[in-house]
Amino acid sequence: MNNLRKEFPILTNNTYLNTASSGLLYDSLLDFRQNHDLDFLIGGSTFRNQQSDFLNRVRETIAVFLGSTQDNVVLTPNFSIGLNTILNGLGKNKKVLLLHDDYPSINFAIENKGFDVCYTNVDATTEHNIETALKKHSPDIFAFSIVQYSNGIAIDLNFIKELKSKYPDLLLIADATQFCGTRVFNFTDSGIDILGCSGYKWLLGGYGNGFMLFKNGVLDQITPSNYKKIAFETNYEPSYTNLRARFECGHLDTFNFGSLQHSLNFLTTIGLSTIENYINELSTYAKQELSKKDLLEHSVTKREQHSTIFNIEGNQKLFNYLTEKNIITSLRGRGIRISLHFYNSIDDIDRLLKLL
């Protein structure tokens, strides 16, 4: 992993603990991007002649990376656009369960569209809270982030799989933006019906790319009947009228989605299991040492498993101090958020601990 750090120039003079805000650009991705635009410069419109085949290869790369199938992958500029497209096609009579203080791209998107909304808490007993809320409210949909953006609490995916077995008619919509790229994952076996992700964080894909994965039959299920009726009656080319077209309307940027594909291949070359094991070691060490200093909320310290995101006690003054020392973090919620990826090290954590 130390050798891989050379791919990321920002690490030469900075301790970067902020992947939860943005993943890093790296040397080989920059090379791809420059070559991409050079081809566009030389080829003009002919450069896009093979875009359909290219985008199919991107979908295939995503499917292999996350254990899905190409036919069930939809490309979208980001998770938020994908989720809003789904919500715009659902009947407003649906009841939706949300997590208190979940990412606004989920909660606000659902709250402002007139759905019947109920909530449960994220704390040391999150999974128990969810099951209690399901029994109490009987929602049609449960929409959630797999990893909470503010404090890093991660929902147990085995619990989610069991939940789907108990409530087969419950539509499970998951935001995996703070999850994909941190561990091995198989969507087909997950129990999740719809999984969305923006590619600019742990996947290192840069901005302007994302995707939605659908279980077999779910994309058809959430497509408005009128859309399917009009699509059947028209003679337009299928790329304008198929089920994907609601999400993939207009052009898709080969620069952005090519960047995502390049980074998925980069992560695959390293080995996702290798990345998972390494950052689990970092996460365990960080949790242990930050707990000794009593800097983590009890809802985090009481849970056995945690993600690579932590929110430590601190204010603007501490944030400014860390910034002056070239430690890059984010102010989030009631504290300072740090987040770890494979380009981080124990030394990075020790440097933070020393300054704290």
* Contact predicate 272/72, CB 8 Å: no
pLDDT at position 198 is 98
H/E element, 335: strand 335-339
Going residue by residue through the chain, which has 356 residues, state the pLDDT in tens, using 9 for 90 and above: 878 999 999 999 999 999 999 999 999 999 999 999 999 999 999 988 988 999 999 999 999 999 999 999 999 999 999 999 999 999 989 999 999 999 999 999 999 999 999 999 999 999 999 999 999 999 999 999 999 999 999 999 999 999 999 999 999 999 999 999 999 999 999 999 999 999 999 999 999 999 999 999 999 999 999 999 999 999 898 888 999 999 998 899 999 999 999 999 999 999 999 999 999 999 999 999 999 999 999 999 999 999 999 999 999 999 999 999 999 999 998 899 999 999 999 999 999 999 99
Residues paired with residue 214 on neighbouring β-strands, in sequence order: 194
Amino acid 226: pLDDT: 94
Query: Which pLDDT score, from 0 to 100, does residue 237 have?
Result: 87
Q: How far is the CA of 237 from the CAs of 231, 272, 275, in angstroms?
A: 10, 38, 42
For 2, the 3-state DSSP assignment is coil
Q: Are 260 and 201 in contact (CB under 8 A)?
A: no
The strand pair at 116-120 and 95-99 is best described as parallel
What is the rounded distance in angstroms from the CA atom of residue 247 to the CA atom of residue 12? 40
pTM of the model as a whole: 0.96
Torsion angle (degrees, nearest 10) of CA 66, 67, 68, 69: 110
For the record, the structure tokens of 274 come out as 């290798």
**DSSP-based three-state secondary structure for 207:** coil
Q: How far apart are CA 6 and CA 356, in angstroms?
A: 27
Going by C-beta distance under 8 Å and a sequence separation of 6 or more, which residues neighbour residue 195? 66, 173, 174, 176, 187, 212, 213
Element (H or E) spanning 108, and its range?
helix 104-111
DSSP per position, 258-322: HHHHHHHHHHHHH-HHHHHHHHHHHHHHHHHHHHHTT-S-HHHHT-S---SEEEEE--HHHHHHH
Q: Residue 205 has what pLDDT?
A: 98
Distance CA 11, CA 48 (A): 35
Read off the pLDDT of residues 145-162 as tens digits, 9 standing for 90 and up. Answer: 999 999 999 999 999 999
Contact 287, 312 (CB under 8 A): no
Per-residue pLDDT, 216? 96
Report the C-alpha gap between 204 and 197 in whole angstroms.
12
